[in-house]
Amino acid sequence: MMEKIYPAYKNKNYEFIGINIWEPTSDAKKFAAQFPVSFPVLIDEERRIHIDYGITRLPTILLLTPDLRIFKRYEGELSEQSLHTLLRELEVYSRVN
């Protein structure tokens, strides 16, 4: 679903980034090769991101403001419509602030 909507948001200067935080690097690379996406996918080789950001469940989506502060956190499955709604909220917030 994120791959489907990414191009429209990329054109609005949004960036989607996937981060592998728990799986071994070799497994993450195999998965990325099997299910490629057009947005960047990073590997947290130091295994710190889930600690630093308090991630205890996957998937977790963090929406960041332009100055990289966490605007919203969403844990669990997310529908396409819900993601659009969250991104619109971020857009409004970013325009006002």
Residue 13, in any domain of the structure = no
| SS3 per-residue string spanning 32-64 | HHHCCCCCCEEECCCCCHHHHCCCCCCCEEEEE
Residue 2, in any domain of the structure = yes
Confidence of residue 74 (pLDDT cuts 50, 70, 90): very high
Confidence of residue 63 (pLDDT cuts 50, 70, 90): very high
The whole domain housing 83 covers: 1-8+47-97
pTM: 0.84
**Structural domains in the chain (count):** 1
Residue 75, in any domain of the structure = yes
Residue 39, in any domain of the structure = no
Q: At what angle do helices 80-96 and 2-10 cross, to 10 degrees?
A: 30
Q: pLDDT (tens digit, 9 = 90+) per residue, 2-60?
A: 999 999 999 999 999 999 998 999 999 999 999 999 999 999 988 898 899 889 999 99
The reported pLDDT for the residue numbered 97 is 87
Residue 17, in any domain of the structure = no
Residue 14, in any domain of the structure = no
Residue 58, in any domain of the structure = yes
